[in-house]
Amino acid sequence: MPIPNTRSTQRQIEKALIIGVEFYNREELLSIEGSLDELDLLARTAGIDVIGRVSQKLEHPNPKTFIGKGKVEEITAIAEDMNSDLIIFDDELTPRHQRELEAIFDEKIRVIDRTALILDIFAQHASTREGSLQVELAQYEYRLPRLTRAWTHLARQAGGVGGRSGVGGVGLRGPGETQLEVDRRDIRRRISFLKNELEKVRAHRQRHRIRRQRSRIPVIALVGYTNAGKSTLLNCLADSDVYVADQLFATLDPTTRRVTLPDGNPVLFTDTVGFIQKLPTTLVAAFRATLEEISEANLLLHVLDINHINVHSQAKAVYQTLEEIGANHIPVITVFNKIDLLKDPKAVRESIFQFDNSVAISALKQIAIDDLLSKIQEQLFENYASVEIFLPYNEGGLISMFHEQGMINRIEHIDGGVNIAGKIPGRFLSLFKEFENTKSD
């Protein structure tokens, strides 16, 4: 099975069975049915027709086939009866599971897992060089340990940017070297090339962030579960035209827009890739440069679809990802979106009461946007404190923090340290108290 081409525009519609397993000793964010509903939507986003679903409860995964032997036989019969082309597992399969299941189905029916499906969606939606590089790296790192003899000449088939630069095509075999070994070597070479390219992207993004920090304009990152309405909200706030679609992972590449708050202060809003439960670790690693846009922000807007039946589980998935990328220390405003679709207005109050620092809006209908902007303004500026301090050079961490988190009005380098006059968020005020008198605005 070749890695999907990131530029593919036409593809045959495949029919798939989706398979979920509920483990007795494992706590999941979503119920088995909720998770399979999400997998169904992922499959349809990828252009796959879901024709049925099968679930099983287990103590632990079967070491050979992930699910039980009897369930494998049941799925085989159903798949043949329904002329299924594809079987999609809701959990990530190990390389051994993948090999055993493919052997059972004898290549008549392809077997993939949730991770492979998400990678395929990302490949379809990557529209820039950076996005394509990130997706291709994630694909290769996922596929390498699963490589079998059926995967030949992958370096010529793999999707990516600008042909196969960095791979050099399939190399000549040495004495006794199999095609599988050649493919593995070429894939490792391609992975190394992609990582080097993405380090250049990361360095470029870092230079941009440093320039933004010097401009002292606060950065607000829009985060949330995929399809919660982040891009619609950015379009509403910035009067822009970021691509919006009612599907998962409609946009992958970060988009930044400048917005002026009601008090005249400028801010930068950055929209990033949506989160999802069981987000593949290969994607988190490959999208590190993009996700750093979140971890460097001054404020997060956590956008939630207030109508979604699993809204609280989706919120937990977002918090888990924020912790994973080191962004769980940043202040958060919870934004309940799509209130225009609510049948019961009381649900707004109930949801807001369960989350601190929250607001309910409709980005599409532009309802309560002024309330959101006021809350952002309050969080960023009205909670700042004016300070005049002297920081010795051996307090380099605090000096860096002031540059990154504060707003410097005046700075003077003298013997032994720096005099700084400016504003710092109230949550950091205690760190600077011993270095000078502090007064509130």
List pLDDT tens digits, range 18-60: 999 999 888 888 899 999 999 999 999 899 999 999 999 999 9
Predicted confidence (pLDDT) at residue 401 exceeds the cutoff of 50:
yes
Q: Provide, rounded to the nearest whole percent, the portion of the chain with pLDDT above 90.
A: 38
Report the candidate in 117, 16, 121, 11 with the shortest Cα–Cα distance to residue 75.
16
Residue range 241-254: mean pLDDT, rounded: 64
Predicted confidence (pLDDT) at residue 307 exceeds the cutoff of 70:
yes
Distance of alpha carbon 140 from alpha carbon 96, whole angstroms: 17
Residue range 264-285: mean pLDDT, rounded: 84
The Cβ-side half-sphere exposure at 350, using a 13 Å CA radius, reads 10
Residue range 367-387: mean pLDDT, rounded: 87
Residue with tokens 């009461």: 353
Distance of alpha carbon 219 from alpha carbon 396, whole angstroms: 23
Distance of alpha carbon 31 from alpha carbon 37, whole angstroms: 10
Predicted confidence (pLDDT) at residue 95 exceeds the cutoff of 80:
yes
The mean predicted confidence, pLDDT, of the chain is: 82
- What confidence tier does 430 reach under pLDDT thresholds 50, 70, 90? confident
Report the candidate in 377, 239, 212 with the shortest Cα–Cα distance to residue 296.
212
* E strand or H helix at 235: helix 230-238
- Output 430 or 269, whichever has higher pLDDT: 269
Q: Supply the pLDDT for residue 179.
A: 81
Predicted confidence (pLDDT) at residue 370 exceeds the cutoff of 90:
yes
Strand-pair category, 255-260 with 266-271: antiparallel
- Domains (range + CATH), the chain: 14-121 (3.40.50.11060), 128-202 (no CATH), 216-381 (3.40.50.300), 383-440 (3.30.70)
- What confidence tier does 433 reach under pLDDT thresholds 50, 70, 90? confident
Residue range 399-417: mean pLDDT, rounded: 86
Residue range 266-293: mean pLDDT, rounded: 82
Predicted confidence (pLDDT) at residue 356 exceeds the cutoff of 60:
yes
238 near 266, Cβ under 8 Å? no
The Cβ-side half-sphere exposure at 171, using a 13 Å CA radius, reads 18
Q: Supply the pLDDT for residue 168.
A: 36
Residue range 243-262: mean pLDDT, rounded: 74
401 near 239, Cβ under 8 Å? no
* E strand or H helix at 281: helix 281-286
Residue range 245-254: mean pLDDT, rounded: 65
Least confident of 140-144, 195-199, 262-266: 262-266
Report the candidate in 318, 312, 355, 305 with the shortest Cα–Cα distance to residue 333.
355
Residue range 377-401: mean pLDDT, rounded: 85
Residue range 226-247: mean pLDDT, rounded: 80
Residue with tokens 């380099």: 396
